[in-house]
Amino acid sequence: MAIPLTEQTQPVVLDPPVRGAIAARLQRGFSYSMIGQVVLYGMAFLMAPFYTHAMGPADYGIVSLTSSVRSLLLMLMPMSTAGAVTYWYNLRRSDVKALRLDLGGTEGLTLALSSGWLLLTLALGPQLQRRLLPDLSLAFWPYGAMVVTSAWLLSLQAVPMALLAAQERMNWTATINVALGLAQSGLIILMVVRWRGGAAGQVRAVFIYAAAASLLFLWLIFRYMPPRIHLQLWREVAWYSFPLVPHQLSVWALNLSDRLIIAHYGRAFAYELGLYSLGYSVAMLMQTVVAAFNTIWAPVYMEQARSNPDAQTALGRIAALSCLALALAASGLILFAPAIVALIGGARYAGSAHYIAPVVLGYFLQAVYMFPAMALFHRKETRKLPIITVASCILNIGANVALIPHFGVIVAAWSTAAGFGLMALLGFVIGHPVYPLVYTRKPLIATAAVLIGTFLLNELSGLTLGVLGIKALAWVSAAGLAWILFGREAERKPA
């Protein structure tokens, strides 16, 4: 495990800053991250039958609500301070003592902020629950307090896990996340299914899991980054990290607001909402791919930008090739979406496939956004990020509110693509001039060709062997041609 940063150890030495090394590191990190993401999503998917078997719809709704509240608090409590870890790690990596002190200062600020949120939420929670959720069957004391406290306990992972990511130790992050996910699932099965605890049992299970998991993260914190008060560093970290809060909230709203808006229009769209929800769930496989890629892209970018004089050319080249690889992933999901829907939902949900292509395109554009936007992290200009994401969120929500009543639920799918498309556009307008990468044109032209060809080929309807065979042949041919033309370029090292 590479997290140790004691004064007696040396910082992790990464591969030389060459293009081939960048590609290898991206492939390795993406593979581990993707495995972790897939296992976690798989466990979440497999938990649904346990929930539905052991509890009724009312309790299941409470579980969904408490999980959403916990996730929101987990996002808010650290105030995105973990976002600064990769920057400070690459800034101080040659001086282990200074890095240890700065990480301790960052952890100190994180604990202060999350503890403040904990006390505030515990104080206001009963009143908020009475006003917003008067019919909720679970009392705030103790169950609401357990939800809040479990979010605080889980927030302890923010800085240690961010440090492992900065060190490109995706094998460890994936292993820890999967192990913790298995532990949580086991406790939930025990307390909800075996002991018939219902929604209250689920809340207790997550609380016990969070308390146990916090012991691991507290050990890492106090051994390798003892929290300390450093007001000057706190100001710098806050200036860097706090703009990430509205940035993350906007992306969160962009991902969730469409279904809330559709539900707001009532029974007229109830059937279409069900189809759209399943289609969106399938399209979120692309979000999994994008999340796994971004997890490794950020530390590789920051390390290269600080240490490699040729980083703008090297990163631009790899970014263009990565764009093509992500386009091929999106293409495969779009082309075989009807088959996936048929496998999951059967004939009743065949209409869900109609919504998948625009949403997958949206998540692809979210990945494109990260290529220029990373410059804002590298140059400590994160205050500009909310401009991009809030504008995209406004476009998405505005289009849904104004157009869904007139054109139907398909608007929600295309507004997702439009929102993330605006993010990508503004990312280039605002982020690219800050630290311009030199993109290779041929992979980008190939990317456009893949996407255009995918949408044209997607017009072939039906699940016959002939249609599926044509799509499979086209996709395999495109992927093979891309590898022949560009695969060796990704591995080539400069002379």
Instruction: State which of 214, 242, 270 marks the end of a domain.
Output: 242
In a domain, 13, yes or no: no
Q: What is the DSSP letter of 15?
A: P
Q: Are residues 92 and 226 in the same domain?
A: yes
- pLDDT score recorded for residue 149: 98
Assess whether pLDDT exceeds 70 at residue 15.
no
| Cβ contact 189:171 at 8 Å | no
Q: Are residues 425 and 337 in the same domain?
A: yes
In a domain, 194, yes or no: yes
Residues 6+ apart with CB under 8 A from 422: 391, 392, 395
The rounded distance, in Å, linking the Cα atoms of 44 and 53 is 15
Assess whether pLDDT exceeds 90 at residue 358.
yes
Q: Are residues 232 and 332 in the same domain?
A: no
- pLDDT score recorded for residue 19: 40
- pLDDT score recorded for residue 493: 52
In a domain, 20, yes or no: no
In a domain, 109, yes or no: yes
DSSP string, 445-466: HHHHHHHHHHHHHTT-----HH
Assess whether pLDDT exceeds 60 at residue 1.
no
Q: Are residues 154 and 225 in the same domain?
A: yes
**Higher per-residue confidence, 94 vs 265:** 94
In a domain, 357, yes or no: yes
Assess whether pLDDT exceeds 80 at residue 464.
no
DSSP string, 427-451: IIIIIGGGS-----HHHHHHHHHHH
- The rounded Cα 389 to chain-centroid distance in angstroms is 15
- pLDDT score recorded for residue 160: 96
Which of 68-77, 129-138, 438-447 tops mean pLDDT?
A: 438-447
Which of 250-254, 263-267, 314-318 tops mean pLDDT?
A: 314-318
- The rounded Cα 385 to chain-centroid distance in angstroms is 16
In a domain, 10, yes or no: no
Q: Are residues 236 and 247 in the same domain?
A: no
Any idea what the Cα angle at residue 141 is, between residues 137 and 145, rounded to 5°? 105
Confidence of residue 357 (pLDDT cuts 50, 70, 90): very high
- pLDDT score recorded for residue 4: 53
Question: In the predicted model, what is the mean pLDDT of residues 360-367?
Answer: 97
Q: What tokens were used for 215? A: 């012991």
Q: Are residues 93 and 229 in the same domain?
A: yes
Q: What tokens were used for 266? A: 């009532």
Average pLDDT, the chain: 89
Confidence of residue 11 (pLDDT cuts 50, 70, 90): very low
Question: In the predicted model, what is the mean pLDDT of residues 60-84?
Answer: 90
Instruction: State which of 242, 265, 293 marks the end of a domain.
Output: 242
Percentage of the chain beyond pLDDT 90 is 69
Instruction: State which of 210, 242, 274 marks the end of a domain.
Output: 242
Q: Are residues 190 and 255 in the same domain?
A: no
Assess whether pLDDT exceeds 90 at residue 48.
no
| Cβ contact 275:349 at 8 Å | yes
* Residue 231, domain extent: 55-242
**Higher per-residue confidence, 59 vs 84:** 84
Question: In the predicted model, what is the mean pLDDT of residues 262-288?
Answer: 82
Q: Are residues 190 and 261 in the same domain?
A: no
The rounded distance, in Å, linking the Cα atoms of 138 and 199 is 8
Question: In the predicted model, what is the mean pLDDT of residues 349-378?
Answer: 94
Assess whether pLDDT exceeds 50 at residue 10.
no
Q: Are residues 198 and 145 in the same domain?
A: yes
Question: In the predicted model, what is the mean pLDDT of residues 15-19?
Answer: 38
Confidence of residue 266 (pLDDT cuts 50, 70, 90): low
Assess whether pLDDT exceeds 90 at residue 8.
no
Residues 6+ apart with CB under 8 A from 452: none
Assess whether pLDDT exceeds 50 at residue 13.
no
In a domain, 2, yes or no: no
* Tally of domains within the chain: 2
Q: What is the tens place of the pLDDT at every residue in 86-135?
A: 999 999 988 989 999 999 999 999 999 999 999 999 999 999 999 988 88
Which of 2-11, 29-38, 103-112 tops mean pLDDT?
A: 103-112
Assess whether pLDDT exceeds 50 at residue 6.
no
Q: Are residues 372 and 408 in the same domain?
A: yes
Q: Are residues 289 and 312 in the same domain?
A: yes
Q: Is the bond into 142 cis (omega within 30 degrees of 0)?
A: yes
**Higher per-residue confidence, 489 vs 89:** 89
The rounded distance, in Å, linking the Cα atoms of 405 and 268 is 9
Q: Are residues 266 and 214 in the same domain?
A: no
In a domain, 179, yes or no: yes
Percentage of the chain beyond pLDDT 70 is 94
Q: What is the tens place of the pLDDT at every residue in 175-227?
A: 999 999 999 999 999 999 999 999 999 999 999 999 999 999 999 999 999 99
Assess whether pLDDT exceeds 50 at residue 494.
no
Buried b (16+ CB within 10 A) or exposed e, 343-382: eebeeebebbbbbbbbbbbbbbbbbbbbbbbbbbbbeebb
- pLDDT score recorded for residue 2: 53
The CA-based diameter of the chain, rounded to the nearest angstrom, is 69
By three-state DSSP, how is residue 381 classified? coil
